[in-house]
Amino acid sequence: MTNIDLTPRQMLFVLPTANVDGTLAPLDFAHPVLAAELADALIDMRRAMGHTDGTAYQYRRALMSLLRGLPDACPRTVSLATPGLALIDALHAWESALAGNYPPESAIPYKYGRQIRALVRVHAANGRDVSDATLRWAQAHVLHQGGDSTPLDEFSNAERLAIRNACRARIRELEARLAVGRRLLASADDPRSTGWERSADVLWGIRHLGRRPGASIEADVLRACASGV
């Protein structure tokens, strides 16, 4: 990684009620490189797009939410250019947790997810390094709904909230299972040489050998499952 400037990023927001010093010091956060990159993206966006101070301040609030909400498992040195899925897993965890931090009718989870994605895209558009996985995340749909759609009349408000909460729970469960799968794959070996005795190796075999021409691995997988792997 090239040398990263971690000095404070100066920002001032002139709002209707007060002038706000929005200076962001990357070293104040657990992930200083990421903080510096996204703060620079905000400064660049503000300059290039002519956002009002109020709009730019809302982007800063989204950035603060992210920097304070990333899980501890995310490496301290992570950046937008870091390969692999560590940052993606952390972004998913942060975005998923937003739903529990605001009332069901709030549009903030959607807004924050959209704004952080925009900052990542600005960083990439300025020619700075962004990993393929992170750029795909930034170009994907926001996890949470925007809150501006018209509810269907056939459901009561309580039923709509229950359906939404159930869907969110399913999504979180799926994301947790995907994260477990990624961790298993990271520790796995080719079962053709190590045997079909570890769940991580069986998963590796399904992922890498399941569609290859040649002998089928179905019997190996079934035997592994039957033995309790």
What is the distance of C-alpha 44 from the center of its chain? 22
Per residue in 174-227, pLDDT tens? 888 888 888 988 888 988 888 888 888 888 888 888 766 666 777 877 777 777
Per residue in 100-147, pLDDT tens? 888 878 889 999 999 999 999 999 999 999 999 999 999 999 988 765
166 confidence band (pLDDT: 50, 70, 90):
confident
Tokens, residue 185: 């794959």
Is the pLDDT confidence value at 155 over 70? no
Per residue in 20-70, pLDDT tens? 999 999 999 999 999 999 999 999 999 999 889 999 999 999 999 999 999
What confidence score (pLDDT) does residue 94 get? 95
